[in-house]
Amino acid sequence: MARIVFDLDGTLIDSAPDIHAGANALLKAEGAEPITLAEARGFVGQGAAAFIEKVRHARGIAESEQARLLAAFVQSYATLITRTRVYPGVLEALERLRDDGHRLGICTNKPLVPCNAVLAHLGLERLFEVVLAGDSLPTHKPDPAPLHAAFAALGEGPQIFVGDGEVDAETARRAKVPFLLYTEGYRKAEVASLPHAAAFSDYGALVGLVEKFGVETAG
């Protein structure tokens, strides 16, 4: 059976509405104009610090405010769960993969506390044996170390990484593992420009892809 590690935001869940609301609460307190939901989606993927940095730049807030705004955002991050939704077909696919004997994990740049909070809120935490977050190790994606650590915690077997965008594709490339690209997340680049073993837009296709690439990797 395969070891399958998933990204979280933009791959399993659409959390951008909550992150958008959290960012705009900060901006309102600063007397700055809000960002759009599209901007929030575009800023997600490289962790909370990078997100706040992009928000600041978009609204002309000084770099000297980075640490203060990041601390305020992280403090509220675990409460930003009420607008987040699981993508269609995710739960069914994860349950099928687990029931088939595959071992599942998460490797995300989201900090661990809000990551665990949203997984619990959505009832997904029971499906994963390991969660590696953006602050679990000294480095985060696209450094391959967290992905390697997640696979190591899942034991033996073929490795597959599932993600939605540029950071995930680069992480998989550096880790030298097959990458399955979910095309309906927060990707900004064209699908063809991202290195991937296969792309899918419907989670109904994931089980078949795992069977294909799990066998190929094992061979």
Question: Which CATH number is 25's domain given?
Answer: 1.10.150
Mean pLDDT for 63-69 is: 97
Q: What are the distances in angstroms from CA 107 to CA 35, 67, 104, 110, 144? A: 27, 25, 10, 9, 10
Mean pLDDT for 83-105 is: 97
Examine the domain organization and report whether 130 and 200 are in the same domain. yes
Examine the domain organization and report whether 47 and 144 are in the same domain. no
Question: Which CATH number is 108's domain given?
Answer: 3.40.50.1000
Is 5:151 a contact under the CB 8 Å cutoff? yes
Residue 14 among the catalytic residues: no
Mean pLDDT for 118-139 is: 96
pLDDT of residue 191: 97
pLDDT band at 217 (very low <50, low <70, confident <90, very high): low
pLDDT of residue 218: 53
**pLDDT per residue as tens digits for the range 130-177:** 999 999 999 999 999 999 999 999 999 999 999 999 999 999 999 999
pLDDT of residue 203: 98
Is 48:74 a contact under the CB 8 Å cutoff? yes
Examine the domain organization and report whether 29 and 115 are in the same domain. no
Is 17:38 a contact under the CB 8 Å cutoff? no
Examine the domain organization and report whether 197 and 139 are in the same domain. yes
pLDDT of residue 219: 45
Residue 182 backbone dihedrals phi, psi, to 5 degrees: -85, 120
Report whether pLDDT(80) > 70: yes
Residue 205 backbone dihedrals phi, psi, to 5 degrees: -90, -10
What domain range includes position 59? Answer: 16-77
Residue 106 backbone dihedrals phi, psi, to 5 degrees: -125, 140
Q: What are the distances in angstroms from CA 75 to CA 14, 42, 68, 81? A: 20, 22, 11, 13
pLDDT band at 46 (very low <50, low <70, confident <90, very high): confident
Examine the domain organization and report whether 94 and 54 are in the same domain. no
pLDDT of residue 214: 74
3-state secondary structure of 28: helix
Report whether pLDDT(204) > 60: yes
In the chain the first and final C-alpha atoms are separated, in Å, by 12
